[in-house]
Structure 1
Amino acid sequence: MQLTQGLHRSLRQNPDRTAVSFKGRRRTFREFGDRVARLASALVELGLTEGERVGMLALNSDRYLEYAMGVWWGGGVLNPVNIRWSAAEIAYSLNDCDTRILIVDDQHLETARDVCRLVRTVPILVHAGDGAAPDGMLSFDALIAAAAPMEDIGRSGADLACIMYTGGTTGVPKGVMQTHLNMWSSCIMRIAESAPLAGTAVLHAAPFFHVAALGRALVQFVAGEAHVIIPAFDAREVLKAIDQEHVSETLLVPTMIQAVLNHPDFAQADLSRLRRLTYGASPIPEPLLNRVIECLPGVELAHSYGMTEACPSISVNPPANHDDAARKSGLYRSIGRGLPGLLVKVVDVHGQEVPRGTVGELVVRGPNVMAGYWNKPEETAQALRRGWLHTGDGAYMDDRGYLYIVDRLKDMIVSGGENVYSAEVENVIALHGAVAACAVIGVPHDMWGEAVHAVIVCKPGETTSEEEIRRHCRAFIAGYKCPRTIEFRERLPLSGAGKILKRELRAAYWAGRARAVN
């Protein structure tokens, strides 16, 4: 139950095997482990003590995995920064958990400078790039080169390992506290259900600041297998990496899969070594599933369902449920069954389990469930009740234990694999001087699954435009949270108690669909 254990095991069993490949740079487990031990030593010299947070604002790279292992080796806690956030959102997360060291790559230098103007305490900045470190920043590689390797501090079990920020139901991000036990258990459960392919490499294309990508990397470390990394998702780079790096497995969201299949280079790429494709974050549309099966014959397909609070794994719908019979029966629409080591059930508003086939809230209990939200006891108590994590997803379970998501009980939108909480967007829109009231909902979108849609009532005598509202939002929140579509109304539908009736707003967009998620 120690997140560096997989690396230690590989250092003893396969030290000269390739551990990571990034832009033509390859490191063996011996080389990687040496850099990790030296980075940990350098961070301790900079003042890192056990349990303190270290952030990283960067695209994917081999240095990102060195950061994760190095911080744990030195006894620290990760704060993987969402690179799609605004400077204000990032500053909030650094302030919230008192992050004193921030590692930054070349692509995010300007953002880091903006963040430093907003934080209470300016962190020590470490430059993780290939060139010279900018003024006022230390060099990641120079720190490693100058440091002597240190022994692993050995934090494990209930010790905090990571604070991963998600959108907030009350309008501000929440820091999900993930312990070594939480993250380790999630890895072991995934391996018990579907072990990484032996002697092969996984391609990391999804961002490491997301729990799904970081969790998949940890699975690979526990299994002692190799990593191939690209900086960010790009369909051409995915095809190139699978072709040239002999990738056998990868994790993509459905929008990424569609982009890969649509890319002009798809027909020419050699994808013969690809044997497994896992998708997550949202269901896969049946036409896209059929295209994948047609274009990638022999590739196993699996759907992974989870959430940050479960670190992240809850269930997997395996390859066997993506064949012709499963598509005809609708079994492919399931999120699968609970993983080994987990208890899952569907409950009513009183927490009582409902009969099979009845819709209720999906709840989860197991060693992978988070320790709680950082400095948010009320929201922690709301999410963790009587030992069960309440997912906020409306679901039902069939007689064989397969789970089906049909709605979201929490006010959340999933757009392109990113979670967007309506309250967060509504709070920002409400700051605009022309806005009297607003409501934000998710509506179906062919490319992104769901799109953020805002319904706005203006103050008497005031007017504004869609573009002005979007420009206003971009100053406060990440671009993916900003409304894609906006409508202006004279009034919003209200209940007798004065609460906005969002189901009425959603009804026109979701009419005729079997489920209210896309």
Structure 2
Amino acid sequence: MTAQLTDLYRRPTFPDMVSRSLQLEPDRVAFITATGEMSYEQLRRLIARIAFAMQDAGVKSGDGVAMVAPNRPEAFATLIAAMSLGARYTPLHPMGSLADHVAVCADAEITTIVADWSRYGEHAAALAADLELRPQVLHIGGGSSSDVLAGPDTDEPIPALARESDIGMLGYTGGTTGRPKGVMLPHRSLVTHLHLALAHWQLPTEIRFLGTTPLTHALAGVVPTVLHQGGSMVLAKGFNPVEFCEAVQRHRITATMLVPSMIYVLLDHLAEHPADLSSLQTILYGSAPMSPDRLEQALDVFGPVFVQFFGQSEAPNSVTALRKEDHDLGRPERLASCGKPHPTLDVAVLNDDDQPCGVGERGEVCVRGPLVMDGYWKQPEVTAETFRNGWLHTGDVGYFDADNFLYLTDRKKDLVISGGFNVYPREVEDAMATHPAVAGAAVIGVPDPKWGEAVMAFVVRTPGATVTPEELIAHVRELKGPVHAPKRLEFMDALPLTGLGKIDKKQLRARFWGDRDRAVN
């Protein structure tokens, strides 16, 4: 195919979609924060300015760029700017530890770290010093030559150097082997996610979206969806039920996204402190299964405004959707479903031989289509196993009912989803094992009314050790951050073992999950 025909059929990249959305309504408000408003045109110029500053600093196509920053418009602008240059963007979770960030940046071959100066300047310097590649550190608001915001304003358009097949995002998910996996999401996948979200999230006509989850998490995929429909994004520093209610009332918020544990906290808060949240027309929820009982309570409080999305890092956020009309109290069993697949994708429940399961028959949920990742960075064996027989094997166990609604019932992977965050027990167990008082540890997820699942550790102490649960929990928090720190810890004389000598986690779980139909919460 000639170069001219290649350009003729060129498909847009993720930053192309953002750039074009911003040009449609330049005077609209893109972001609202505690310090003021930013218009679409101001955001477009900011992205271009950061992109050219990064280019002047040597960032080029194929480079690895990582960022650690709180929720602020400049953080979103920076990730789009990096992608527009053809770079691979890797988010660093603000709650992650230095050790975790070092492991991710080393594996991702990061050559540039961008950090919020006031919050993470020292952290980024320590991170760069610990890496063999010695990446350069650029700052957001650093007030120095390394500040990507200090470059001159420009009338130039946002660069369009990336191509659809380029890896736009290299995000990391933990692993049962203890080694994090880099999920390669090409622009094809990111743009497909945007199209699916536009089609199925049922956002209101007038969008004022309250963002309380991290831009390093699913919120980064929500912002372009809002901008594409001419909406405004109100950015919060985090989630607090009092501040959430105040923001909804002050800005007449029409849409938001919450993980189930946030909804539980909000429901408990509203029971004691009623507030007028009637402006909300759409509440997106996902990242973890939600208790059907609490969902029924939420429908009573908020009305038919809920839309559930299901996906994973390898097929982000848009594999299925449970639409507003599907949250039918007359069909309460539907509240345990994660909805129907999108027509753009093939979604199947397969048995151990990768053959389709019948209606109501449980198997592994598998996906294929343009949303799916390119594979795991530098892990061809794991990629091949995950992609066997032409399907992305999600590790989730579930079944379809006669009406094609998907229900998740268990996980093949050793994974805990706590407060919407993935916690791999092996990582917590490895951190626990570094304490001299720990002879052995096993970590599981247990049902929790606030977190959905809480991280629980079972520990065997070394002979004569007098360590307390609080000390061990603090130890994990220091090494891995608060998300991985166990909410509960119990000492045992010995961990139960299977006939093969492996820790019998089924026995540990049985005490908490009992005969529940779903071993997820």
**TM-superposed deviation, 1:345:** 0.9
Deviations 1:77-104 (A, max 9, x none): 2111111111100111111112222222
Distance 1:486-1:76 versus aligned 2 partners, 3 A rule: same
Matches within 5 A, 1:91-110: 91-105=102-116, 106-110=118-122
SS of equivalent residue, structure 1 residue 513: coil
Matches of 1:266 and 1:51, distance apart in 2: 52
Which amino acid in the other structure matches residue 229 of structure 1? L
**Who is 2:166 aligned against?**
159
Deviations 1:262-307 (A, max 9, x none): 447995754332111111122333443233233324x511111111
Distance 1:438-1:224 versus aligned 2 partners, 3 A rule: same
**Who is 1:347 aligned against?**
350
**TM-superposed deviation, 1:30:** 1.5
**Who is 2:4 aligned against?**
none
Matches of 2:427 and 2:401, distance apart in 1: 34
Which amino acid in the other structure matches residue 161 of structure 1? G
Matches of 1:266 and 1:187, distance apart in 2: 38
Distance 1:272-1:458 versus aligned 2 partners, 3 A rule: closer
**Who is 1:118 aligned against?**
130
SS of equivalent residue, structure 1 residue 172: coil
SS of equivalent residue, structure 1 residue 44: helix
Distance 1:502-1:265 versus aligned 2 partners, 3 A rule: closer
**TM-superposed deviation, 1:27:** 1.9
Is structure 2 residue 36 aligned with structure 1 residue 25?
A: yes
**Who is 2:259 aligned against?**
253
**Who is 2:88 aligned against?**
77
Moved more, 248-257 or 233-242: 233-242
**Who is 1:127 aligned against?**
139
SS of equivalent residue, structure 1 residue 428: helix
Partner of residue 301 from structure 1, selected from 299, 306, 310? 306
**Who is 1:319 aligned against?**
324
Is structure 2 residue 461 aligned with structure 1 residue 450?
A: no
**TM-superposed deviation, 1:448:** 0.7
Matches of 1:388 and 1:107, distance apart in 2: 41
Matches of 1:460 and 1:261, distance apart in 2: 45
What is the aligned-residue RMSD (CA, Å)? Answer: 2.2
**TM-superposed deviation, 1:44:** 0.5
Matches within 5 A, 1:53-452: 53-105=64-116, 106-129=118-141, 133=143, 138-143=146-151, 145=152, 149=156, 152-210=159-217, 212-263=218-269, 269-297=275-303, 299-327=304-332, 330-452=333-455
Matches of 1:259 and 1:110, distance apart in 2: 33
Which amino acid in the other structure matches residue 363 of structure 1? C
Is structure 2 residue 18 aligned with structure 1 residue 10?
A: no
Distance 1:224-1:381 versus aligned 2 partners, 3 A rule: farther
Matches of 2:305 and 2:146, distance apart in 1: 44
TM-score (norm 2): 0.92
Matches of 1:260 and 1:123, distance apart in 2: 42
Q: Can you give the 5+ residue segments of structure 2 that lack an aligned partner in the other structure?
A: 1-11
Matches of 1:279 and 1:312, distance apart in 2: 10
Matches of 1:113 and 1:44, distance apart in 2: 21
**TM-superposed deviation, 1:424:** 1.3
Distance 1:318-1:80 versus aligned 2 partners, 3 A rule: same
Deviations 1:326-353 (A, max 9, x none): 22xx111100111121111111112111
Matches of 2:272 and 2:14, distance apart in 1: 37
Matches of 1:11 and 1:213, distance apart in 2: 18
Q: Can you give the 5+ residue segments of structure 1 that lack an aligned partner in the other structure?
A: none
> How many residues were matched structurally?
509
Distance 1:224-1:75 versus aligned 2 partners, 3 A rule: farther
**TM-superposed deviation, 1:66:** 0.7
**Who is 1:468 aligned against?**
471
Matches of 1:479 and 1:313, distance apart in 2: 28
- Is the 2:115–2:138 contact (alpha carbons within 8 Å) kept by the matching residues of 1? yes
Matches of 1:370 and 1:30, distance apart in 2: 32
Matches of 2:318 and 2:197, distance apart in 1: 7
The share of aligned pairs that are identical, in percent, is: 33
Distance 1:465-1:455 versus aligned 2 partners, 3 A rule: same
TM-score (norm 1): 0.92
**Who is 1:517 aligned against?**
520
- Is the 2:66–2:110 contact (alpha carbons within 8 Å) kept by the matching residues of 1? yes
